[in-house]
Amino acid sequence: MANSFPQIRAAAIDGRAVNVYYRQRQIERLHDAITKASTEILKAIEGDYDHTPAEAATEMHLAMQALTSDYASLQPKQAHHDEYLIASGKNAGSNRRPVGVVYIEPCSKHTLFYSLENNLRTLSSLLREVLSSSLDSDTFAIASEPIQDKSLLESALIVRQTGNGQVPGLNLLSSPANSRTVAVVDRTAGIPLAARELAAATFAFGGRSPYAPDYIFVNEFVKRAFLQAVVAECAKLSGLPPAEKGSKPRQGMDDFVERLRQTDPQSRIVLQEQKMAVLDLFDRAKVPLTTKNEYPVMIVHGVRSLDDAIDLIGSTLSTSNHASLAAYHFGNPATGKYLSQFIDAEVSFVNHIPRELLVGPAFLPVVR
């Protein structure tokens, strides 16, 4: 695909998007287009992905909030002032060279507003239409297949949200989508709170978020109470207004649970329904605790102490050779401090899990 997207390259060369007013107009047009099609988008999210109306509304709200935030960050007066600093005989130390072309490889497993693949789903075709009709074709385009043009890939900033082929480079931002997310529930934790937060994070959005907890390590002293509280939370979640009509059996989830059971025959299925399951692992030596869990399955394993949890997570981290994507710690403040200090994770939260974290691709914090 030689000389692909020549109009995009030309716009990058002449600095079309450097103009702050141009960027404002593009955001305004996109905001208006999404608002106009919001009813159809919400229905498509519910129908294509079997999400509840509340989950679809959450995605829509966060998408619009992101547009509003980006728009608010554009300051025309400040941009004009900065542009003419040198002409005024002043130092322009904050001046930065624009990237030029950005090529995004979107993740489609959980981030519905990035699901632009060319398929028969209603949402994909609807979003392609909304984006293509509202944004300037000289500065935005959707590739129908992965770009192979070497000259474009070498000059562009590549944003890879798939987590595949993470090759370090100055022109690559790679999402750690395959890194696991862990949680620890200490005996000092408020069990109802821990169960509510972890159940919501595990089962929301079909369990596909990279920030859904893959493994939950619970102090043996409170594990029974925790599992009972989780079952109660699952009952509440099952009673929420669905997109239940037309729900399909989750064969992939059932197969995943069965594989875990075969690997660890002494494990116990605490709960298994059409859209969620809870599994209590017994033998940590038999189950690889590094595998990313992509299903609405809560995997619980008992630990003897905080240090036992830290050692277990640390020993399995050394195999994967990088930090956990996120860690959720439930316990008193001193416990939260201790776990956050000694469990290597890109981001840690104590006694809560931000719901907005569950929507969108995995990312690395700007400052660690």
Three-class secondary structure of residue 293 per DSSP: coil
pLDDT at 123: 87
Measuring CA to CA, how many Å separate 199 from each of 112, 128, 251?
Answer: 21, 33, 21
CA dihedral 135, 59, 111, 148 (to 10 degrees): 0
- Judge whether 222 and 230 are in contact, CB under 8 Å: no
- Which domains does the chain possess? 4-174 (no CATH), 181-358 (3.40.309.10)
Q: How confident is the model at residue 311 (pLDDT cuts 50, 70, 90)?
A: very high
| pTM (two decimals) | 0.88
pLDDT digits (tens, 9 = 90+) for 116-138: 655 557 888 899 999 999 999 99
pLDDT at 290: 84
Average pLDDT over residues 26-30: 98
**Across the chain, what does the average pLDDT equal?**
88
Average pLDDT over residues 297-322: 87
Tell me the backbone φ, ψ of residue 166, rounded to 5 degrees: -80, 85
Helix, strand, coil percent values for the chain (each to nearest 5): 45, 15, 40
pLDDT at 270 exceeding the cut of 60: yes
Express as a percent the part of the chain with pLDDT over 70.
89
Least confident of 50-54, 113-117, 190-194, 278-282: 113-117
pLDDT digits (tens, 9 = 90+) for 34-61: 999 999 999 999 988 888 999 999 999 9
Residues counted in the chain = 368
pLDDT at 321: 54
